[in-house]
């Protein structure tokens, strides 16, 4: 790629939305830096001749407070719900004195624990957009 962009790590950006890849920069076609805040970054107006390589690693965000959102792949949401339900039923079994309710709560906790383990075994190791590790985007071949 012949370009006016000397240091792409500081002046070029990209983002992915669905299966679309967008390349933007704050350098204009003459090689100057755009300074207007609202229109600072625009689509790159250069042509790609020999291909384009983008390499990055993504790690989920850490949960630091009770109000933080879990940065989790959508396929694991059901597993988290089952884990929370299992814990709630176990808490209920520990608080109640009546044996019938304790037995029912423990059975429900065991059921949700099995569902949790099945979901994690089935969907846990698939690499998707919110899972840490290397990710590849393959653009359409226009030949």
49 shares a domain with 83: no
Confidence of residue 96 (pLDDT cuts 50, 70, 90): very high
Residue 63 domain flag: no
Least confident of 6-10, 77-81, 85-89: 6-10
Question: pLDDT at residue 1 above 50?
Answer: no
**Least confident stretch, 6-10, 42-46, 64-68, 135-139:** 135-139
User: For residues 119 and 126, which has the higher predicted lDDT (pLDDT)?
Assistant: 119
The pLDDT, as a whole number, for residue 101 is 94
Residue 137, in any domain of the structure = no
What is the domain count for the chain?
2
Q: φ and ψ at 22, to 5 degrees?
A: -120, 135
User: Is the same domain home to 47 and 16?
Assistant: yes
136 assigned to some structural domain: no
For residues 124 and 116, what is the distance between their CA atoms, to the nearest angstrom? 10
In a domain, 131, yes or no: no
Query: Is residue 140 situated within a structural domain?
Result: no
Same domain, 50 and 78: no
Q: What are the Cα distances from residue 105, in Å, to 102, 113, 117, 118? A: 5, 12, 18, 20
Look over the chain and give the mean of its residue pLDDT values, rounded to a whole number.
Answer: 76
> Is 111 in contact with 68 (CB distance < 8 Å)?
no
The whole domain housing 39 covers: 8-54
In this predicted structure, the answer to whether residue 5 has a pLDDT above a threshold of 70 is: no
CA max distance for the chain: 79
Are 81 and 49 within one domain?
A: no
- Tell me whether residue 142 is in a domain: no
- The answer as to whether 103 is a domain residue is yes
Side-chain half-sphere CA neighbours of 6 within 13 A: 4
Residue 109 lies in a domain: yes
What CA–CA distance (Å, rounded) separates 10 from 31? 14
């Amino acid at each position: 790629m012949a370009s006016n962009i000397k240091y792409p790590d500081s002046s070029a950006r990209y983002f992915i939305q669905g299966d679309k890849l967008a390349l933007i920069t704050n350098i204009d076609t003459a090689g100057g830096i755009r300074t207007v805040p609202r229109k600072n970054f625009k689509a790159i107006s250069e042509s790609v001749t020999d291909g384009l390589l983008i390499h990055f690693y993504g790690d989920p965000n850490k949960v630091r407070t009770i109000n933080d959102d879990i940065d989790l792949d959508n396929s694991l949401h059901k597993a988290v719900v089952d884990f929370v339900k299992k814990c709630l039923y176990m808490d209920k079994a520990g608080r109640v004195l009546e044996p019938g309710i304790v037995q029912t709560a423990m059975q429900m906790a065991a059921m949700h624990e099995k569902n949790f383990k099945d979901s994690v075994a089935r969907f846990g190791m698939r690499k998707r957009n919110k899972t840490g590790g290397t990710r590849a985007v393959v653009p359409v071949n226009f030949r």
